[in-house]
């Protein structure tokens, strides 16, 4: 049974608190934008597409509860803009929430009927599911053509073409061991957790045939910002001749930024590295640098960028998507 990051019905939204995994599987109520902001900022939910969905759906909950000035389209546009601006301040690196915010503002300007706003926002859920299926299908087909046995995890597993996934723990919040490995096990995918520092050894010793990561933002030249540690995975994969892929929806692309050097990189509190469960693990007088993301240069993305529209060379993805009307 697959895990759901979000549970939604009109007027009601719950988020799976990923900070409690795997010990507790607890969904918590999100009554509006402020609660969504704290869930995003405190990393109760992670992954750029999920963050975008949570932000937009929390606004839908407020509108369903009558909190917006529904009778005045101009006031409603201002209300929506303020709420979305607040949400964007929670985590600045991910592009998806900003992209959906732009689209929602444009929709509000064009439509004065509140029910249309609900339907538009709720439609993002189905679009997300559809995009994920398409990303999996495109990635599986592309990777199977190059590398028998490797690939985009769920789609390849469904095709019977996947023997095992090695999932990095993803320090310091351990998203890999807490969430990714748990999701894969629930999907019936054979998964092995490894330390972040064991990735290169696993590539060399355990028959790894492809590396697939996500993305929080893709610059115009194909540079990719993703969870810290992605860059070193790409370097190791390049050294060993293993194809390196990025899987992300088109809304992750940001053609306004020429290169990854312009992507804002969030830095998190040092206590995330020096403490674990309230226990001090390091000398408190030592300096800490704790960026949440790094940027992988486009030339290291040797397999391609997998989107719901197809698989593209990194340097061409933003242009190709723009020509197709995406993002």
For residues 12 and 61, the answer to whether their CB atoms sit within 8 Å is yes
pLDDT tens per residue, range 145-157: 544 333 356 677 7
Residues 36-85 pLDDT 10s: 999 999 999 988 889 999 999 999 999 888 886 666 667 888 888 899 89
Q: Which domains does the chain have, with CATH numbers?
A: 6-115 (1.20.120.420), 148-324 (3.40.50.10470)
Within 89-222, where are the H helices? 96-110, 114-146, 153-158, 175, 181-186, 199-205
Active site residue 216: yes
Asked whether the predicted pLDDT for residue 204 surpasses 70, the reply is yes
Burial category of 289 from C-beta neighbours within 10 Å (exposed 0-12, middle 13-18, buried 19 and up): exposed
Question: How many CA within 13 A on the CB side of residue 75?
Answer: 7
| pLDDT for 70 | 64
Catalytic residue among 131, 216, 254, 294: 216
Order of all β-strands in the sheet with 253-254: 253-254, 217-219, 224-227, 293-296
């Amino acid at each position: 049974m697959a895990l759901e990051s979000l549970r939604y019905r009109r007027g009601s939204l719950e988020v799976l608190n990923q900070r409690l995994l795997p010990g507790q599987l607890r969904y918590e109520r999100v009554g509006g934008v402020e609660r969504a902001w704290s869930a995003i900022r405190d990393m109760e939910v992670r992954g750029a597409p999920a963050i975008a969905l949570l932000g937009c759906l929390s606004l839908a909950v407020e509108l369903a509860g009558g909190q917006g000035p529904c009778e005045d389209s101009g006031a409603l546009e201002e209300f929506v803009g303020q709420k979305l601006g607040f949400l964007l301040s929670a985590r600045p690196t991910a592009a998806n929430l900003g992209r959906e915010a732009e689209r929602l503002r444009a929709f509000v300007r064009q439509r004065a009927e509140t029910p249309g706003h609900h339907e538009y926002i709720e439609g993002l859920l189905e679009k997300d599911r559809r995009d994920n299926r398409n990303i999996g299908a495109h990635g599986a087909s592309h990777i199977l053509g190059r590398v028998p046995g490797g690939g985009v995890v769920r789609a390849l597993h469904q095709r019977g073409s996947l023997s095992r996934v090695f999932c990095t723990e993803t320090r310091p919040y351990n998203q890999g061991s807490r969430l990714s490995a748990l999701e894969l096990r629930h999907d019936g995918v054979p998964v092995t957790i490894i330390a972040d520092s064991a990735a290169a050894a696993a590539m060399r010793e355990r028959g790894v045939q492809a590396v697939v990561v996500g993305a929080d933002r893709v610059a115009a030249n194909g540079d990719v910002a993703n969870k810290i540690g992605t860059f070193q995975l790409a370097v190791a994969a390049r050294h060993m001749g293993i194809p390196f892929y990025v899987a992300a929806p088109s809304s992750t692309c940001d053609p306004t930024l020429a290169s990854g050097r312009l992507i804002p990189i969030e830095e998190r509190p040092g206590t995330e590295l020096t403490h674990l469960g309230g226990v001090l693990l390091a000398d408190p007088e030592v300096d800490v640098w704790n960026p949440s993301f790094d940027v992988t240069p486009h030339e290291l993305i040797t397999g391609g960028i997998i989107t719901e529209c197809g698989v593209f060379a990194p340097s061409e993805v933003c242009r190709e998507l723009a020509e197709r009307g995406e993002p």
